[in-house]
Structure 1
């Protein structure tokens, strides 16, 4: 059964079907229609038509609807997990907790939107009482990525809806299945037009960006696509929230426990086959500890179980597509002569999907391609450094600034290095410690705007209302 768009509270079929593929098997699961300009226009018009009524509802009313949606998602997690595993190739055992996180995102934003803060009303101007209102922006276009489809859709649409906006969601073209299921769950909970889902690729996204009925855009994805979105949104001055690529440096000093570090960063480096914007895949280790850490990382990588994402035993699933696997292989094939593949680098035998062996690469030098660019695959690179000043400089020596971690028993040094690294999140003696209540976003080419804890501010605008006290 083919997928459908969801517009104004109803499922809507379409033409120009494209294949949806299971990356574990390379087999076609279903088909989805490419949204025509008419379908995009209908979705935006539906969102625009529902905007005033939804925005005028009390925060408590909207929160109650979102809490009901959160419960519906929680009740359906088993089905949603099966869809996500088949569609995105995310291993079923480790991914279950990540998917459940989406429920928490809905519940948190539903409650937090009831207590949005603004400056206290007062007489900041003589003879005039001023108050500051926070109001919804209008219609928000949410564009979700393929590497964590449902969670990263919810981090955008939940705060947008909670603050009184209506939404047109466009999932990634190759991973739309959980977005459509979310729409089915929302159909009996949210009023028609409040949440709309349109399917398709670049033409659909560009039609949304060019539509005058869209007021803001929230996007997670690559730097190049983010730049294109920012360029197109700027033509009509649409507000944009962009969470883009990362190249998270993992800075390891020699006074640390190498075995413990390897255990943590191996799991966080190869989770989702390295297709994660804060994956622990770029390791900078103090020279004297290099051999010990590489030994532990290699052991961990070789112990990973590569296989079908639907198997509970699998710890490393496939890449999302044949094209993505070829992109990762390209990095390995283009490596500089001094760069060594310690383990992995090939395609595992006997598997028909888009798999690549877990790979450890050493010998990288400053400026090497794999030290600069986001690989987005199951490849962990290792560089060495001599002192604190050098590692801070090298950690910052690329265009990204999303996440980073520092590992040391010296607390003062940990704080100094964390302060010196230009990234939206820096963790000391841990990695990827992200919580719903805390802001998440990047510096430099990793984008701008914040999700999770700071997302409510992104989807509201401030209005100063001044009232004269004179009769």
Structure 2
């Protein structure tokens, strides 16, 4: 694994002015690195560098920016094993999933590189020509979470650069190393100051979201933090893309085949040990197949090999940090105390490391904390229903709305129900699938703005109407 990690400001590796902090391996609870810690002054330096770089980067031809992103994708690909090892060590996921994250980062970068920013002709008459153009905003602040440290950094940074902006990014303090290495690699292909990285938590995030010279903040994380960012961003009316918490509901119709759908439901609920914003988190199952599907899911859970992500046999890694681990323990204990049935799992499974087995909880309903709160971990509550209208109402009776799904042997019927779910993406016979060409975002308290595809790219631009009198 890479052995030295630095901040990157204006193309230079720099030490943290505020000291350092420990990065913990969640599989061992050991400190793996003393990461440099930025000062607020270094945030100002990074923004100043990005502002200066923007003066020329915004005018760089599209073909040059596209080529730069493709070269970055080449660098990520060439360093795939090293980047995956960093992910496993600081985030905890199994190696096969870390390698998939790196592969996804490469594919996303290449897709974004090839997007064209359109010029729309609104009128072309004898008197005038009116066009709509899309211009870059300026300096973008990116604040990323700890669950998919490489992938989400790519989601934030690449469209920003493709559109002609420059970036100051701040990774989660739980998983900073991958982003530090990514930005180091990117600086081998980009002019100084185009991409900068600082570290820290509340104080540094606040310095970014309130900075008068940052024109947009893109944030993936919790709703309370998103609300603080929105308040801080009001000073200069920053543009925002906020992808916040979700508590995704899925409804299984009585005509679904439990054996056929159990694997897909399990994988989309427990993706990354359940630590995925759009993972399936509440499963509403019709009476007729409730027991059969619950047992089929429990079988999938029992077959997982929980362990250190570096071990080849591991299929299921630890929870990433102690706070999240404690929350999962509390939610399951509360469900058990309320009379729910723990079909499988339900207890920590190691003396060291934040290991918690995939857990299926039945005989539980709305009102229990495990159903009403986002667990963001390896636990799935399975909720019984008998009336579809009741199930839809319960699925929608939630302050957040990121994703939702309907499972059935009749996709047409399922599609009609899916469209009634109050969420940014509704899947049929699938869940949690995000694609580089399909816009993705939330509604209600899950945030606003979209990522991915042309719609996501244009979020990093300012429309300008050009009105030419002939």
- After TM superposition, is the score higher than 0.5? yes
Q: Who is 1:245 aligned against?
A: 245
Q: Is residue 37 from structure 1 mapped to residue 10 from structure 2 by the alignment?
A: no
Q: Is residue 6 from structure 1 mapped to residue 15 from structure 2 by the alignment?
A: no
Contact kept, 8 Å, 1:88 with 1:147, in 2: the verdict is: yes
- 1:132-281 alignment, distance < 5 Å: 132-281=132-281
Equivalent residue of 1:211, what SS? coil
TM-aligned CA deviation for residue 338 of structure 1: 3.4
Equivalent residue of 1:427, what SS? strand
Equivalent residue of 2:142, what SS? strand
Contact kept, 8 Å, 1:247 with 1:373, in 2: the verdict is: yes
In the alignment of these two chains, the number of paired residues is 465
Equivalent residue of 1:451, what SS? coil
TM-aligned CA deviation for residue 121 of structure 1: 5.0
Q: Who is 2:468 aligned against?
A: 467
TM-aligned CA deviation for residue 368 of structure 1: 2.4
**Residue by residue, what CA displacement relative to the aligned partner does 1:259-288 show, whole Å, maximum 9, x if unpaired?**
121111112222211111111231100011
- 1:54-133 alignment, distance < 5 Å: 54-112=57-115, 115-123=116-124, 127-133=127-133
TM-aligned CA deviation for residue 430 of structure 1: 1.8
177-186 or 336-345: which moved more?
Answer: 336-345
Distance in 2, Cα, partners of 1:61 & 1:2: 30
Q: Who is 2:286 aligned against?
A: 286
Q: Is residue 28 from structure 1 mapped to residue 52 from structure 2 by the alignment?
A: no
Extract unaligned runs of 5+ from structure 1. none
**Residue by residue, what CA displacement relative to the aligned partner does 1:204-244 show, whole Å, maximum 9, x if unpaired?**
11111121110000000011111111111123210000011
Does the C-alpha gap of structure 1 residues 225 and 214 become closer, same or farther in structure 2, counting only changes over 3 Å?
A: same
TM-aligned CA deviation for residue 73 of structure 1: 0.6
TM-aligned CA deviation for residue 312 of structure 1: 2.0
Distance in 2, Cα, partners of 1:323 & 1:24: 14
Distance in 2, Cα, partners of 1:7 & 1:437: 31
**Residue by residue, what CA displacement relative to the aligned partner does 1:46-94 show, whole Å, maximum 9, x if unpaired?**
0000002000011111111111111111111111000001010011123
**Residue by residue, what CA displacement relative to the aligned partner does 1:356-401 show, whole Å, maximum 9, x if unpaired?**
1221111222232222210011101000111221111111111121
Distance in 2, Cα, partners of 1:429 & 1:178: 33
Q: Who is 1:433 aligned against?
A: 433
Does the C-alpha gap of structure 1 residues 37 and 433 become closer, same or farther in structure 2, counting only changes over 3 Å?
A: closer
Q: Is residue 414 from structure 1 mapped to residue 417 from structure 2 by the alignment?
A: no
48-57 or 248-257: which moved more?
Answer: 248-257
Contact kept, 8 Å, 1:270 with 1:316, in 2: the verdict is: no
CA RMSD of superposed structures (Å)? 1.4
Extract unaligned runs of 5+ from structure 2. none
229-238 or 55-64: which moved more?
Answer: 229-238
Contact kept, 8 Å, 2:135 with 2:463, in 1: the verdict is: yes
Distance in 2, Cα, partners of 1:99 & 1:405: 27
Distance in 2, Cα, partners of 1:38 & 1:235: 19
Distance in 2, Cα, partners of 1:411 & 1:41: 52
Distance in 2, Cα, partners of 1:411 & 1:18: 50
Equivalent residue of 2:58, what SS? helix
Equivalent residue of 2:401, what SS? coil
Runs of 4 or more, structure 1, over 6 Å off, are none
Distance in 1, Cα, partners of 2:406 & 2:444: 20
Distance in 2, Cα, partners of 1:266 & 1:361: 13
TM-aligned CA deviation for residue 339 of structure 1: 2.2
